[in-house]
Amino acid sequence: MTDKLTIALAQLNPTVGDFQGNLDRLREARKAAAEAGADLMLTSELYVCGYPPEDLVLKPMFIDSVRAAVTVFARETADGGPAVLLGAPWRGDDGRVYNAMLLIEDGAIAAERYKVDLPNYGVFDEKRVFAAGEMPGPVAFKGVRIGIPVCEDIWTPDVVECIAETGGEILLVPNGSPFELGKTDQRQQLGVARVVESGLPLVYLNQLGGQDELVFDGASFVLNADRTLAWQMPAWREKVAITHWSKKDGAWVCAPGETVAVETGDASLYQALICGVRDYVNKNGFKGVLIGMSGGIDSALSAAVAVDALGPDRVHCVMMPSPYTSRESLEDAAEASRLLGVKLDEINIGPAMGAFSEMLAPFFEGTNSDITEENIQSRSRGMTLMALSNKFGYMVLSTGNKSEMSVGYATLYGDMCGGYNVLKDVYKMSVFALCRWRNERRPSGALGPEGAVMPERIITKPPSAELRPDQKDEDSLPPYPVLDAILEDLIENVTPIADIVAKGYDPETVLKVWRLLDRAEYKRRQAPPGVKVTLKAFGRDRRYPLTNAFHGAYMASPVSKAAE
Ligand SMILES: Nc1ncnc2c1ncn2[C@@H]1O[C@H](COP(=O)(O)OP(=O)(O)OC[C@H]2O[C@@H]([n+]3cccc(C(=O)O)c3)[C@H](O)[C@@H]2O)[C@@H](O)[C@H]1O
Ligand SMILES: Nc1ncnc2c1ncn2[C@@H]1O[C@H](COP(=O)(O)OP(=O)(O)OP(=O)(O)O)[C@@H](O)[C@H]1O
Ligand SMILES: NC(=O)CC[C@H](N)C(=O)O
């Protein structure tokens, strides 16, 4: 039995489904850990296949391939280097598939532990694909009894309590915990709660990187049994931390290591957007992205994030003026592109609008010009961007923010064209704040330029879709501070309408926003995926039927009765 342990924490960025690539990254990390004298290396949840693998787990071939890759890797650990606690989807002896942690030691799998508490809410669907494990006891490693609760297993006390009661000495917790604003604090509070209840030190190791709509921030940490923070690893960056442990008076203590400051607020939000775009584009093999650059704030911020994620050479902006495009917009698009150092092309959509007008004239005879023609403008832009995408292999980024996606203020097959949306989960008021934030500093790790990246006028001018003369967003929507506050209550807080009105908002406005939100579900279902940053992003976090005759929320409200 030892009284000293060196544990390497591998905060790495796996790609879902890329077992070989993920294991190669792990081999490199293990080599570095071996050089640092590590006894054991911990990976994040399901590291070998990346988290979340979703329905891939239901394919027997996927599970068989994982086993084959892990078997090869396990043999390599006979080299005298560190043992590895590896996350993998694993078929147990009973034939069922578990979300497992494998202790791989001296060339073989020495122990298996299965996740007990399978999250099945929000974006998580683990009960759909995994069997739940039995309450686990610790595993023995060099005579030390190590408890391995997996991610959700520490969100309630039971699993850790069982580990402590069965003699656990250290808690090593692998996670696949997606970023949300404010989640770093929440995780640390949970960690402290489990440490206090069990009296055991706890290692929280999280995945890094983007996977479709989710971004994993890393930000792993180590808490000693006295609740002190021994290590705080960085967010948004791969790192292998070498932690040194010793047994004093019968209890394990981690020697103090690095405690870096983790970004919060706008800084963390901006980093999350960079991570989402960078990994979506790179992991899917795109050369770069295309953005319709209108001279407005949403496209300017989307372009800034894309440049910070990919570098200016991989971002191609296109200004597509119509007869309604103002000189101001042309100037602002040009200046924002110049500041970002990106290529800006100008393609006039007037001829496309003219062609549609001519084609449709015999059929539209006797009708007035209305939203139909406005949408043709938007769709002419979408068509143009998609043509460039097909020809040159760049993916289109759509630019609608969460406020617009909430109320359906976007055109199907028009400005909603695209493969990915940077701002899908960012309310308009946050868009303003992020622009100001980015103009003041370049985020760490960003590939964009130092200094301001968008002209002040883009931030201060009133938002406009410019689909008809003098159009302003506020002609159709409540002012953004009001709209966003109501939306946040309706979406994130699920606040009853009467309670929102009781806060002092105009009842008609609240009802209008609710109706718009309710009705736009069909549009959101056809929208590109985008980075989740809030508690409740559109998509898997918030699932409503499209065909839905239930409007009870406003019918039942005394306010709505008064308003009807
Ligand atoms: N439940 C449902 N399930 C499936 N489809 C449904 C549907 N309800 C309507 N539809 C269909 O949806 C279509 C209407 O939606 P859509 O064609 O998008 O058109 P619509 O929503 O009527 O108009 C677009 C709106 O986006 C605004 N906007 C804001 C900012 C930028 C831009 C821009 O384009 O740059 C636009 C614009 O001012 C306008 O208010 C119709 O074809 C209708 O039949
Ligand atoms: N003249 C244009 N040239 C290029 N793209 C445009 C143009 N007008 C609109 N778009 C594209 O359509 C999206 C929706 O733009 P629109 O201006 O109508 O609304 P917005 O929500 O105010 O966006 P933004 O703040 O970027 O202007 C823009 O973000 C942009 O990608
Ligand atoms: N992978 C998981 O079990 C994640 C669930 C957990 N509640 C989290 O977000 O951190």
> For residue range 363-374, what is the model confidence (pLDDT) as tens digits?
999 999 999 999
- Residue 399 Cβ contacting ligand 2 at under 6 Å: yes
Collect all residues with Cβ–Cβ distance below 8 Å to 307 and sequence separation of at least 6: 315, 340, 341, 342, 447, 448, 449, 453
Token pair recorded at residue 210:
């983007």
The pLDDT > 70 percentage for the chain reads 98
Choosing from 49, 105, 112, 115, the catalytic residue is 115
For residue 522, how far is its CA from the centre of ligand 1 (angstroms)? 10
Pairing mode of beta strands 289-292, 251-254: unpaired
Whether residue 367 is annotated as binding a ligand: the answer is: no
- Give residue 38's region: left, alpha or beta (phi > 0; psi -120 to 50): beta
Ligand 2 atom showing the smallest separation from residue 473 Cα: 22
pLDDT digits (tens, 9 = 90+) for 394-444: 999 999 999 999 999 999 999 999 999 999 999 999 999 999 999 999 999
pLDDT digits (tens, 9 = 90+) for 9-40: 999 999 999 999 999 999 999 999 999 999 99
CA-to-CA distance for 280 and 268, rounded, in angstroms?
18
For atom 9 of ligand 3, the residue with the nearest CA is 177
pLDDT digits (tens, 9 = 90+) for 97-140: 999 999 999 999 999 999 999 999 999 999 999 999 999 999 99
CA-to-CA distance for 207 and 14, rounded, in angstroms?
8
The pLDDT > 90 percentage for the chain reads 94
Pocket of ligand 3 (CB under 6 A): 45, 119, 124, 151-152, 155, 175-178
For atom 24 of ligand 2, the residue with the nearest CA is 296
Question: Is the sign of the CA dihedral 373, 379, 381, 308 positive or negative?
Answer: positive
**Element housing 116 (H / E):** none
CA-to-CA distance for 506 and 149, rounded, in angstroms?
48
Contact 555, 445 (CB under 8 A): no
Radius of gyration of the chain (CA): 26
- Check if 151 is active-site: yes
For atom 8 of ligand 3, the residue with the nearest CA is 177
- Give the ipTM of the model, two decimals please: 0.91
Q: For the residues 341-361, what does the mean pLDDT come to?
A: 98
- Check if 536 is active-site: no
Q: For the residues 200-206, what does the mean pLDDT come to?
A: 99
Contact 70, 108 (CB under 8 A): no
Collect all residues with Cβ–Cβ distance below 8 Å to 295 and sequence separation of at least 6: 319, 325, 326, 328, 329, 330, 331, 332, 333, 336, 458
Q: For the residues 330-348, what does the mean pLDDT come to?
A: 98
Contact 533, 272 (CB under 8 A): yes
Q: Which ligand has the shortest distance to the CA of 291?
A: 2
Coil/strand/helix, residue 461: coil
**Element housing 231 (H / E):** strand 229-232
To the nearest whole number, what is the mean pLDDT of the chain? 96
Ligand 3 atom showing the smallest separation from residue 52 Cα: 1
- Check if 254 is active-site: no
Beta bridge partners of 498: none
DSSP state of 135: P
pLDDT, position 557: 52
Coil/strand/helix, residue 24: helix
pLDDT digits (tens, 9 = 90+) for 290-320: 999 999 999 999 999 999 999 999 999 999 9
pLDDT, position 553: 55
Beta bridge partners of 113: 101
- Domains in the chain and their CATH numbers? 4-262 (3.60.110.10), 266-562 (3.40.50.620)
pLDDT digits (tens, 9 = 90+) for 38-65: 999 999 999 999 999 999 999 999 999 9
Token pair recorded at residue 453:
């990246």
Q: Which ligand has the shortest distance to the CA of 295?
A: 2
Q: In what order do the strands lie in the sheet with 251-254?
A: 108-114, 97-105, 83-91, 40-42, 4-11, 239-248, 251-254
Q: How many CA atoms lie within 13 A of 428 on its CB side?
A: 27
Contact 210, 14 (CB under 8 A): no
Whether residue 414 is annotated as binding a ligand: the answer is: no
Q: For the residues 254-262, what does the mean pLDDT come to?
A: 98
Contact 397, 277 (CB under 8 A): yes
Contact 204, 222 (CB under 8 A): yes
Q: Say how many residues make up the chain.
A: 564
pLDDT, position 476: 84
Pairing mode of beta strands 83-91, 40-42: parallel
The distance of Cα 512 from the centroid of its chain, to the nearest Å, equals 30
For residue 5, how far is its CA from the centre of ligand 1 (angstroms)? 61
pLDDT, position 562: 47
CA-to-CA distance for 303 and 309, rounded, in angstroms?
10
Greatest extent of the chain over all pairs of C-alpha atoms, in Å: 91
For residue 412, how far is its CA from the centre of ligand 3 (angstroms)? 33
Contact 48, 87 (CB under 8 A): yes
pLDDT digits (tens, 9 = 90+) for 455-502: 999 999 988 877 777 788 888 899 999 999 999 999 999 999 999 999
- Given a cut of 60, whether residue 514 has pLDDT beyond it is yes
Choosing from 45, 213, 374, 466, the catalytic residue is 45
Token pair recorded at residue 206:
């999280």
Q: What's 76-93 look like in SS3?
A: HHHHCCCEEEEEEEEECC
For residue 64, how far is its CA from the centre of ligand 3 (angstroms)? 25
Choosing from 151, 162, 417, 435, the catalytic residue is 151
Q: For the residues 176-194, what does the mean pLDDT come to?
A: 97
Q: How many CA atoms lie within 13 A of 167 on its CB side?
A: 7
- Residue 413 Cβ contacting ligand 1 at under 6 Å: no
Reported confidence tier of residue 564, pLDDT bands at 50, 70, 90: very low
For residue 309, how far is its CA from the centre of ligand 1 (angstroms)? 31
Whether residue 456 is annotated as binding a ligand: the answer is: no
pLDDT, position 187: 98
